[in-house]
Structure 1
Amino acid sequence: MTDDADPQAAIDAQREKHAHERDERVYEHTAGDDREGIPFVGAGPGHPRLLTVAGKELLEDADLVVHAGSLVNSELLEAYCDHAELVNSVGKDLEELVPLMRDAYGDGRTVVRLHSGDPAIYGAALEQMDALEHEGVPTYLVPGVTSAFAASATLRTQLTLNETANHVAFTRPQGKTLDAEDDHIAEFVGMGDVTTCIYLGTHAVADTMDRLVESGVAPDTPVSVVYHASWPDEDIIEGTVGDIGEKIDDAGYRASAMVLIGDAAAGAGYERSYLYGGWANQGDNDTETESPSDDD
C-alpha cells in the first residue's frame, strides 16, 4: 500500500480471507506469547498497575507508541513510555496511522499500538491490524483489563452472582453509530438475571433509561455508574433506572463512565454458591469428593 492508497481495499481483502480460512498463527501462539510484529496492547481501565505484565514489558521496549489519546491515563504513559516517541491517534484516520506504523516497523523500530481497556471490546483494532497485515506487517493482540471489570472491583462485587445474575452483557446504546433496532439493552435488562454493562453511553444515560421504562423495566431497578474507573478522579454514582439519568446530568459527565444495571452491581440478593457449600463436602469421610467442574 502506498501512502495515498485506500486502506479500505486492504480491509476488504483481509475480511474476505478471514471468511474462508483461519490464520495458521492461531494454532502456533496463545495470548501472552512473545512474537514478531506490532502488538495491539490493551492499556487497561486507567490505573498503571492494571496494565498486564506483557503490556508493561512491550511498552518498556518500544521505540514508538501510538496511543488512544486521553483515553489512556497520562500516568501510565509517564510510567512506561517516557523513553519512547508518543503519537496520539485521536483525529488521525487509517490513511495516516497505517503508513506511520508500517514505515516505523519497516525501519526496524519497535512499535506498539496502545488501545484503552481491552482491544476486544469496542476497540476498532481489527481494521488497523488487517490493513497492516495486508502490507506484510505482522500484528497480534495483547489483552487488557476492560472497564467493566475495574468498575466491579471498585464496587466490591461480581458481575455474576449465584441466583442473582447468571449472565453478563457488554453493550452500547443506540446513537450515531448504532441503529435503534440494534439496541438490545431493554432485552438484556428485561431478562432479570443479567448484569448489563453499558459502554460508550454516558452522554445518553437519561435517554437510555427513559427507553427502558417505556419497555416495561421497573424504575426501581438498581444502576451503578463508575466514572473513570481506577483513575485518580474516579467517581461512583448510585441510583435506579428511574433517577440515574438526572444524577449523571447533574454530575456533568458526558463520557468515560461505565453503567452497570442489575442487582449484582450492588452485591444484593445473591445466595451462597455450591462451590463452597454442602455440595463441596458431599459423601462420607472415606470417599474422595469430586472436584468442582469449570462450570461451577
Structure 2
Amino acid sequence: MTGRVSFVGAGPGAADLITVRGAKRIAEADVVVWSPAVVEVECVREHARPDAELVDLSRVSESEVVDLYRRASASKLAVVRLHAGDPSLWGGLREQHDTCQKLGLAVEVVPGVSAVSAVGASVGRELTTSDVAQSLVLTGPEGAEHVAEFAAHGTTMAISASGARTGRIVEQLRAGGYPDDTPVVVAYKVSLPDETVAQTTLGGLEACVKEHKLYRTTLFLVGEVLRPAAPRRAAPGDEPVRRTRSKWSMRASRDSASVAAWSAVHDWQETARARRSAPARPKPDRDDPVLELVTGPTGAEDVPADAVPVDAGGAAPVEQAKPKPTVAAAAKRKPTTVQASTTPRKPAARTAAATRAKKTKRAD
C-alpha cells in the first residue's frame, strides 16, 4: 500500500454540491489541503474527520505542499487537495499531478460541479442548443485578452475575469460581433447564501457590475441561449402543474443545505471513518483445529450463554473462542443434534463370546 493524493472538485461553493465520491474521499483523508478563500469552510467541516490535519493553502508555500506529498509517500497517508469547481478548469492540476506521480504516490482526480454549470442551472438555461449555439467557449483570466477572437465564433461564451475589467471585456465582445442586446448573466459566489446572479445585456453590463460592486473574479455568461423566455399567458382551462416532492426535496426544505447534504452521506461517512481508525484484525491461523459447538437436541437455539467450543478430536476446551456467524444461520434451518465429548469412546465392536459370557453371568 502506498500513499494517495486525491484532487477533489469541491463544486461551486455549497457544501451539498460536492459529489458523493468527493465527500467520501474527504472523510477518508488524513490530510485535507484547501483554501478558505475559494472553498467554503462548511464543505470541509461537514465531511472531514475530527482528527484530520487541515492545511490552509494561503499560509503555506508550494514547496511546503511538495514536502507534504513526500511525507504522505513515506507514511502512506491519504491526502485530499480541494479545488473550487472542477479541478480540470483553471485549477493548475497538471504540475501537481506530475509531481505526485514522480514521488510514487497513487493519484486520483475526482471531478466536481463547475461554476459554469451551476450558473446555467441557476437561470434555468442550457448553454448549448441545436438551434442557437452548439458549442461553448471557456476562457479564464489569462485568456481575457483574446475575447474578441473567441467572440467571432458567435457562440456561447463563459468568461472568468476580474469585475474591474468589465469595460475592456465589453469592448472586445462588441469587436467580436456581439450586439448590445446580447443576453449576459453575471455570477459571483454562485450557490452560496450571499451569491449574486444577475441577468442583463451587453449594453448594460458595466452598469450592472457597478451596481452590485463586483470587482473580484466574476463569471460572465454571454450568448443568445441565455435570453429569458417570454412569459406565457394562461389559457382558459389551464391548471397549474404540481411537481411531486421526493423525500430529499422535503428534507432540504426543512433543513439547511448542509444538513441535508450530511444526512445523505452520513452512514457511509461514519463507516469510512471507523475503517480508517479501527486496528487491523489478525487473520485466523489455517493450522488451528476445527472447532465444534456443543448444542442440545433442539439445535442452536438452546445453546447456553456460557457454552465453550471444544476440539473435534477430543482435546481440551479452547478458551475465548467466539462462535461463528453460521450458528445464527443454523437456527433458521431444521433443528439438528450435534454431539461432542471429551471422554474416550468405547470400542465399537465386541466379540460374540464376550457378549454370551456377560449374559450367562447375569442369569446366574
If the length of structure 1 is used for normalisation, what is the TM-score? 0.71
Counterpart mapping for 1:159-198 below 5 A: 159-173=127-141, 177-178=142-143, 180=145, 183=146, 185-192=147-154, 194-198=155-159
> SS where residue 56 of structure 1 aligns?
helix
Q: State the aligned residue count.
A: 228
SS in 2 for 1:72: coil
Partner AA of 2:181 in structure 1: D
Q: CA deviation at 1:105?
A: 4.1
- The question of whether the paired residues in 2 share the 8 Å contact of 1:158 and 1:267 is answered with no
Alignment of 1:240-259 (within 5 A): 240-259=201-220
Alignment partners' CA distance in 1, 2:78 and 2:111: 19
Question: Match of 1:226?
Answer: 187
Task: Name 1:26's counterpart in structure 2.
Answer: none
Tell me if 1:72 matches 2:39: yes
Structure 1 equivalent of residue 325 of structure 2: none
Give CA deviations for 1:163-188 in whole Å, capped at 9, x if unaligned.
11211111125xxx4584xx1x2233
Q: Deviations over 1:199-258 (max 9, x none)?
A: 244332222112222444312211111211111111112212222123212311123432
1:235 counterpart residue number: 196
The 5 Å alignment of 1:120-159 reads: 120-159=88-127
Q: Distance in 2 between matches of 1:233 and 1:165?
A: 31
Query: Distance between the aligned counterparts of 1:106 and 1:255, measured in 2?
Result: 40
Whole-Å separation in 2 of the counterparts to 1:237 and 1:212? 18
- SS of aligned partner of 1:70: coil
Q: Greater Rg, structure 1 or structure 2?
A: 2
Deviations 1:3-48 (A, max 9, x none): xxxxxxxxxxxxxxxxxxxxxxxxxxxxxxxx97211010011111
Equivalent residue runs for 1:1-296 within 5 Å:
37-81=4-48, 83=50, 84-90=52-58, 92-173=60-141, 177-178=142-143, 180=145, 183=146, 185-192=147-154, 194-268=155-229
Partners of 2:55 and 2:90 in 1: CA distance: 21
Q: What do you get for the CA RMSD once the two structures are aligned?
A: 2.2
Kindly provide the amino acid, as one letter, of the partner of residue 218 in structure 1.
P
AA partner of residue 17 (structure 2): L
Give the counterpart letter for 2:67 in structure 1.
P
The residue type equivalent to 1:115 in the other structure is H
Structure 1 unaligned residues grouped into runs of 5+: 1-34, 270-296
Please say if residues 55 and 142 of structure 1, whose CA atoms lie closer than 8 Å, have aligned partners that are also in contact: yes
Q: Secondary structure at the match of 1:95?
A: helix
CA contact (8 A) 2:151 2:177 kept: no
- Contact 2:9–2:22 (Cα < 8 Å) also in 1: yes
Structure 1 contact 186–217 (Cα < 8 Å) conserved: no
Identity %: 32
Q: Distance in 2 between matches of 1:226 and 1:253?
A: 9
* Post-superposition offset of 1:97: 1.0
Amino acid at match of 2:102: H
Mind listing any 5+ residue stretches in structure 2 that lack a counterpart? Answer: 231-364
> Is the 8 Å Cα contact of residues 189 and 196 (structure 2) preserved in structure 1?
yes
Cα separation, 2, equivalents of 1:58 and 1:75? 16
| Offset at residue 91 of structure 1 (A) | 5.4
The alpha carbon displacement at 1:264 in A equals 1.3
Distance (whole Å) between structure 1 residues aligned to residue 227 and residue 48 of structure 2 = 37
Greater relative CO (CA pairs within 8 A, separation 6+): 1
